[in-house]
């Protein structure tokens, strides 16, 4: 074996061991040797390196069948921190997490009619404040992941945000220059899918769709355990699939797009104009017939598009991200009624339709997990 080969093997062993400790700590050196098949001296040497670099620490004593009890190894999830940002159409979320994705601090803002410049200033100020109050750690801030509701190309440039005006704004460069850490820009539905996959409702699935329903509808596709971005990074624009070819014009250029019927915006437009949030809540409590008919219609329209998605991908699950669906089973039941009346019966048992478990934090948590993953890759590169 050449020296280059030996180095490569060392790096691979190191990555393997760190992943084992991350996913199975507390774990002993002996168990690591057993689960990885690496000999004890390799395990000891590599682990010592990771302990010296503060990625792993040792704790007390584990259980042993006899003799000296082994020291257990833990992943030091506080070795560094990640920031996840979700720039929504009318709100902004900034989360600080440790390397395990646990939220350390969370910041939410309503954007109302804020301009892009105002939102950018608020974002930079918030990140600065988060960094200032971040707990001390060996590696500090390891990266900032930012997601936007629009098209992000493979060079992480925002090329189209139909409901806001971020297209052409170089968010990546501005944030990188301000904080001098790695920055990733991602589409909101892709980040949400990633978040649910790592920490939420889709942990157990390798093939699933994440459907984010708000002003528009965005879909994140995880196929074969990987985010599917498409050639240019523009996959998942299923909010713009036609469900009525004679339907109204959409601002994407198409007609009768799914999101014109099944977005939360469309649902709200179906309600009487004078119903504000308070009125909506009151009628919700009262099981108001007009409201519940509208909710049923919302679920029905969602179901129509979901049938197309399920027929196309044959996924294990479809995760639905919307507060109305997460807070009340009624809409999801309406969705399921539409599905069962329009799909082959086997789908009812073979594809799970589930509400998001991370809720509004899903995209920002996904953005954090992307930064954490690339940091961990970097440790063992």
Give me the helix-helix angle, 3-24 and 362-379, nearest 10°.
140
- Give the contacts of 378 (CB within 8 A, at least 6 positions apart): none
23/27 Cα distance (integer angstroms): 10
Find the shortest distance in angstroms from Cβ 211 to Zn ion.
Answer: 16
Q: Which of the ranges 47-55, 77-85, 135-143, 251-259 carries the binding residues for Zn ion, by CB under 5 A?
A: 251-259
- Interface residue with Zn ion, options 87, 158, 201, 257 (CB under 5 A): 257
* Number of residues forming the site for Zn ion (CB under 5 A): 5
188 Cα distance to chain centroid: 8
- Interface residue with Zn ion, options 105, 114, 242, 254 (CB under 5 A): 254
Q: Scanning the structure block, which residue is given the tokens 């806001």?
A: 164
Q: Are 365 and 199 in contact (CB under 8 A)?
A: yes
- Interface residue with Zn ion, options 250, 302, 332, 368 (CB under 5 A): 250
Find the shortest distance in angstroms from Cβ 141 to Zn ion.
Answer: 38
Give the 3-state secondary structure of residue 213: strand
Other CB atoms within a 10 A radius of the CB of residue 330 amount to: 17
204 to 243: interface string for Zn ion, x by CB under 5 A: ------------------------------------x---
- Interface residue with Zn ion, options 116, 243, 252, 280 (CB under 5 A): 252
Tokens of 336: 């399921």
Query: If binding is defined by CB under 5 A, does position 321 make contact with Zn ion?
Result: no
181 Cα distance to chain centroid: 20
55/50 Cα distance (integer angstroms): 5
Write phi, then psi, for 61 (nearest 5 degrees). -130, 140
Find the shortest distance in angstroms from Cβ 9 to Zn ion.
Answer: 51
Q: Which of the ranges 77-85, 203-211, 217-225, 256-264 carries the binding residues for Zn ion, by CB under 5 A?
A: 256-264
Strands 217-223 and 158-160: unpaired
| Residue (260 or 334) nearer to Zn ion, CB | 260
Q: Which of the ranges 96-104, 208-216, 252-260, 295-303 carries the binding residues for Zn ion, by CB under 5 A?
A: 252-260
| C-alpha separations of 246 from 242, 249, 270, 302, 341 in Å | 9, 9, 19, 19, 23
Find the shortest distance in angstroms from Cβ 162 to Zn ion.
Answer: 8
Which residues inside 138-197 make contact with Zn ion, applying CB under 5 A?
none
Quickly list DSSP for 125-168: HHHHHHHHTSPP-SS-EEEEEEEESSEE-TTS-EEE-TTSS-TT
| Residue (11 or 268) nearer to Zn ion, CB | 268
Which residues inside 269-308 make contact with Zn ion, applying CB under 5 A?
none
Find the shortest distance in angstroms from Cβ 192 to Zn ion.
Answer: 20
Q: Which of the ranges 128-136, 206-214, 246-254, 311-319 carries the binding residues for Zn ion, by CB under 5 A?
A: 246-254
| Residue (162 or 303) nearer to Zn ion, CB | 162
What is the binding site for Zn ion (CB under 5 A)?
A: 240, 250, 252, 254, 257
């Amino acid at each position: 074996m050449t020296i280059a080969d030996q180095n490569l093997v060392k790096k691979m062993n190191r990555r393997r061991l760190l992943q084992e400790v991350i996913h199975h700590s507390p774990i002993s050196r002996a168990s690591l040797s057993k689960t990885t098949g690496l000999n004890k001296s390799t395990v000891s040497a590599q682990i010592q390196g990771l302990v010296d670099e503060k990625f792993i620490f040792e704790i007390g004593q584990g259980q042993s069948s006899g003799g000296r009890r082994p020291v257990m190894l833990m992943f030091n999830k506080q070795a560094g921190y990640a920031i996840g940002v979700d720039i929504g159409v009318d709100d902004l979320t900034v989360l600080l997490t440790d390397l395990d994705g646990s939220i350390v601090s969370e910041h939410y803002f309503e954007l109302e009619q804020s301009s892009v410049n105002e939102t950018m200033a608020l974002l930079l100020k918030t990140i600065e404040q988060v960094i200032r109050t971040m707990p001390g750690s060996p590696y500090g801030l390891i990266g900032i992941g930012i997601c936007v509701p629009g098209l992000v190309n493979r060079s992480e440039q925002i090329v189209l945000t139909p409901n806001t005006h971020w297209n052409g704004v170089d968010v990546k460069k501005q944030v990188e220059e301000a904080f001098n850490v790695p920055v990733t820009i991602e589409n909101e539905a892709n980040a949400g899918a990633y978040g649910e996959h790592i920490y939420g409702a889709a942990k157990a699935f390798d093939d699933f769709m994440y459907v984010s329903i708000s002003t528009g509808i965005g879909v994140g596709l995880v196929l074969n355990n990987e985010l599917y971005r498409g050639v240019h990074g523009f996959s998942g624009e299923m909010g713009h699939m036609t469900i009525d070819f004679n339907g109204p014009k959409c601002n994407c250029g198409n007609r009768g797009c799914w999101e014109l019927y099944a977005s939360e915006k469309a649902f709200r437009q179906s309600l009487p104009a004078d119903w504000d949030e308070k009125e909506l809540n009151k009628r919700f409590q009262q099981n108001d017939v007009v409201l519940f008919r509208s909710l049923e219609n919302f679920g029905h329209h969602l179901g129509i598009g979901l049938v197309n998605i399920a027929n196309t991908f044959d996924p294990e699950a479809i995760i639905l991200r919307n507060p109305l669906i997460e807070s009340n089973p009624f809409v999801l039941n309406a969705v399921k009624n539409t599905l069962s009346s329009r799909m082959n019966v086997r789908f009812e048992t073979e594809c799970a339709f589930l509400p998001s478990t991370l809720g509004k934090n899903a995209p920002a948590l996904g953005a954090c997990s992307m930064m954490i993953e690339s940091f961990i890759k970097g440790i063992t590169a």
